[in-house]
Amino acid sequence: MTENDHPYRMTIDLNVLDHLGINLYSNVAAVLTEVVANAWDADAECVTISFDIDNNIIVVEDDGIGMTIQDMNEKYLRVGYRRREAEPTVTEKGRKVMGRKGLGKLSLFSIADTVEVQSCKDGQRHGLRMNSSGIREATIERSSEYLPDVLNEDELEVTKGTVIRLTDLKKSRLGVTGSALRRRLARRFSIIGSDDFRVFIDDVEVTVRDRGDLEVVQFLWNIGDGVDYSDFCPGLKERETRSGVIDGRSEDWFVRGWIGTVSKPKQLETDAGNLNSIVVLARGRLLIENVLDKINDGRLYTKYLTGQIEADFLDRDDLDDIVTSDRQRVLENDERYEALMDFLRSLLNQVESKWSEWRRKHGAEEVTQEHPALAEWLDSLPEGYREHAKGVIAKVGAIPVEDKSDRKDLLRHAVFAFERLKLKGAADALAEALDGGIEDLLKLLADQDVLESSLYRDIVTSRLDAIRAFRSLVDENAKERVLQEFLFKDLWLLDPSWERATGSEFMESRLKAEGVIVDDMTEKERLGRVDIAYRTTAGKHVIVELKRAGRQMKLLELVEQGQKYVDALKKILAAQGNASPNIEVVFVVGRPLEEETSNPERVKSSMESISPGSRIIHYDGLIKGALDSYAAYLEASDAADRIGQLAEKL
């Protein structure tokens, strides 16, 4: 059977270019990756990329071996040209060829509608121009060929290597600055910046430093026997080297590269995107953009990670291509991929353990830099305690928290707890906690005695604040309603042994029914009082009446009111079966009564006539009594106040 008589034919429609080129890539960095890889395969030593967005042009030039017209037709214009099967897989300069599928060149149409290619080899200069509209016309005509336009001699600029000029740019896909593009290319190649292969973007060379992450790496793990990347890490605190051999595999299955962690995750946020990723390369170019996404490790340390792993065994000539057509993914069921993932999971477990250790070691230094008040506190400690305190601060600083304010609270509690433990002579327990894990330290800080002391101080501090605020209200002769609400909320101001009473609401409602308590202010003034309220405490029934701080009261006036309150309350309690209630009436006044100076015994007997324990209290005396009640604590807490002031600075 002759070819013409054959009943079946496979044909390739030019529509395939839409899928393999025009719509294959979506960003300029991925497209230029293909161009730079082609330049590498052409043994170029220098690649220059120029952006002229205003004039809608991108030009890429290389000084490689170039192409003849025959090379252009048989290799460059031939879609699917399999370089590694048709030619040696190592160039004359000894480079391992990156190209494999012969599809990358089509990606140019992802960012430009017009592509011009000029090349020079063996003294031959020539060039062509392709445009996406011409390809689509050929597609409509069902043609299996597309004929690019031939450039005239006077249009040729190339003198060596290859020049690619992109025009009619799709600007929606270009949105990236020169610095961001340098960063992305630096992360897509490990061969950029070497002595024999340099890439420039707008006359600025792309180097390893353009990655943007090495300069902020705090802890570094060099993998395998490759480059020592510590020279690129000015802020490096710790480093070590890990083996890159994949256990149980052939000797050429190994990795090299580096993994690093930063001090703070926000250091990995750049104009080129978040660098919290580990890229995987093979033969010096990107293969997997972020392998962390595949490892699925949710531990905190992963937020601090960045790195670059080179695994050439993923792209061996004698094995099937592991990369998908768009070079954005790899075949995850391939044994090479599975071996790499097993290796990385094991490696990252080791990294996490060491990261935790190093974080504790250097944590105190970082925390004191962020909170200078802690450095002040450490300097104030006796030398014998200082190292222990540093360990506590480092451990607390390493406790994972999402909210910054939570860390400040932890540090405050750690300082207070350390001071109390120091006074209790608990240095031995503290040292043991430091030798253990964070859990041991937290358990020690949560000691019952420490907790009670902390709570007591918090209570007393809040009460002192209340006393000062109440004094301010009195000095301003504040309205009685404000004073009432303030005083009855903090009943201990009248007597430190009193706490907030409960169960008073029902009795107050009955007192209102008896006409003793009223809400109408006009009626209150007519009755000769400002405000009263009822409380029960320790089995005692207390009626408290506040008078305006500036009002001059009469003794008889108070006695009449007090007896009326007691009679009404006794009637209510008797109905509840309490025939002999213990009742006190407390009058809070601003100005002293005349009889308090001229006849204090009369005042005393008059109050007793109301009910035993009834009395008159002055606002100033109330405040002084409250302050005196806590004077002993204030005298004993000078050191605590110093620590408290320090904590306020955090």
Contact assessment for residue 465 and residue 498, using Cβ atoms and an 8 Å cutoff: no
Give the per-residue pLDDT at 196: 92
Contacts for 403-408 with beta carbons within 8 Å, 24 or more apart?
Answer: 408/371, 408/650
Distance of alpha carbon 162 from alpha carbon 635, whole angstroms = 85
Please name the residues in contact with 607: beta carbons below 8 A apart, sequence gap of 6 or more: 559, 562, 585, 614, 615, 616
Distance of alpha carbon 469 from alpha carbon 84, whole angstroms = 84
Winning range, highest mean pLDDT, from 260-264, 358-362, 576-580? 260-264
pLDDT tens per residue across span 167-201 = 998 877 776 677 888 999 999 999 988 889 999 99
* Stretch 619-644: mean pLDDT: 62
Would you say the pTM of this structure is higher than 0.75? Answer: no
H helices present in 228-371, as ranges: 292-295, 335-370
Give the per-residue pLDDT at 1: 52
Q: Tell how far CA 373 is from the center of its chain.
A: 23
Q: In what order do the strands lie in the sheet with 583-589?
A: 531-537, 540-546, 583-589, 615-618
Shortest CA distance to 199 belongs to which of 57, 13, 62? Answer: 62
| The residue type at 420 | R
Q: Which residues of 537-575 are buried (b: 16+ CB within 10 A; e: fewer)?
A: beeebbbbbbbbbeeebebeebbebbebbbebbbebbee
H helices present in 490-618, as ranges: 505-513, 521-526, 555-575, 594-598, 600-610
Distance of alpha carbon 275 from alpha carbon 292, whole angstroms = 11
Contact assessment for residue 571 and residue 614, using Cβ atoms and an 8 Å cutoff: no
Quick check: helix, strand or coil at residue 96?
Answer: strand
pLDDT band at 527 (very low <50, low <70, confident <90, very high): very low
Q: Which of 323-337, 397-411, 505-519 has the lowest mean pLDDT?
A: 505-519
Please provide the distance, in angstroms rounded to a whole number, between the alpha carbons at the two ends of the chain: 90
Q: Which CATH architecture has domain 464-631?
A: 3-Layer(aba) Sandwich (3.40)
pLDDT band at 16 (very low <50, low <70, confident <90, very high): low
Residue 100 CB neighbours (<10 A): 19
Distance of alpha carbon 384 from alpha carbon 394, whole angstroms = 17
Distance of alpha carbon 310 from alpha carbon 307, whole angstroms = 10
Distance of alpha carbon 17 from alpha carbon 78, whole angstroms = 12
Task: Give kind and range of the element (H or E) at residue 113.
Answer: strand 112-121
Q: Which residues of 170-193 are buried (b: 16+ CB within 10 A; e: fewer)?
A: beebbebeebbbbbbbbbbbbbbb
Distance of alpha carbon 105 from alpha carbon 290, whole angstroms = 24
CATH T-level topology, domain 212-358: Ribosomal Protein S5; domain 2 (3.30.230)
The β-bridge relationship of strands 305-310 and 256-262 is: antiparallel
Distance of alpha carbon 194 from alpha carbon 199, whole angstroms = 10
* Stretch 601-627: mean pLDDT: 86
Q: Tell how far CA 386 is from the center of its chain.
A: 30
Please name the residues in contact with 203: beta carbons below 8 A apart, sequence gap of 6 or more: 48
Task: Give kind and range of the element (H or E) at residue 116.
Answer: strand 112-121
More confident residue, 199 or 52: 199
The β-bridge relationship of strands 305-310 and 278-282 is: parallel
| Domain segments of the chain as ranges | 16-205, 212-358, 371-446, 464-631
| Beta bridge partner(s), residue 124 | 121
The β-bridge relationship of strands 278-282 and 256-262 is: unpaired
Distance of alpha carbon 60 from alpha carbon 202, whole angstroms = 10
DSSP 303: G
Distances (CA, A) of 255 to 32, 245, 309, 480: 26, 7, 7, 79
More confident residue, 455 or 371: 371
Contact assessment for residue 221 and residue 240, using Cβ atoms and an 8 Å cutoff: yes
More confident residue, 86 or 444: 86
Distance of alpha carbon 550 from alpha carbon 523, whole angstroms = 20
DSSP 304: G
Per-residue pLDDT for 66 more than 90? yes
pLDDT tens per residue across span 271-295 = 778 999 999 999 999 999 899 988 8
More confident residue, 627 or 525: 627
Instruction: Report CA dihedral (606, 610, 616, 622) to the nearest 10 degrees.
Output: 150
More confident residue, 630 or 240: 240
Give the per-residue pLDDT at 529: 44
pLDDT band at 592 (very low <50, low <70, confident <90, very high): very high
pLDDT band at 395 (very low <50, low <70, confident <90, very high): confident
Per-residue pLDDT for 525 more than 70? no
| Class of the CATH domain delimited by 16-205 | alpha beta
Give me the chain's average pLDDT, please: 79
Quick check: helix, strand or coil at residue 219?
Answer: strand
Distance of alpha carbon 368 from alpha carbon 414, whole angstroms = 14
Give the per-residue pLDDT at 530: 41
Per-residue pLDDT for 35 more than 60? yes
Cα angle, residue 200 at apex, residues 290 and 305 outer, rounded to 5°: 25
* Stretch 372-400: mean pLDDT: 79
Per-residue pLDDT for 467 more than 50? yes
Question: Per the structure block, which two tokens stand in for 512?
Answer: 């209102």
Give the per-residue pLDDT at 528: 41
Give the per-residue pLDDT at 588: 86
Q: Which of 83-97, 281-295, 398-412, 507-521 has the lowest mean pLDDT?
A: 507-521
Q: What is the largest CA-CA distance in the chain?
A: 140
Shortest CA distance to 583 belongs to which of 598, 603, 569, 602? Answer: 569
* Stretch 210-220: mean pLDDT: 94
Question: Per the structure block, which two tokens stand in for 308?
Answer: 């670059």
Distance of alpha carbon 10 from alpha carbon 13, whole angstroms = 10
Task: Give kind and range of the element (H or E) at residue 280.
Answer: strand 278-282
Question: Per the structure block, which two tokens stand in for 47?
Answer: 């690649």
| Beta bridge partner(s), residue 126 | 119
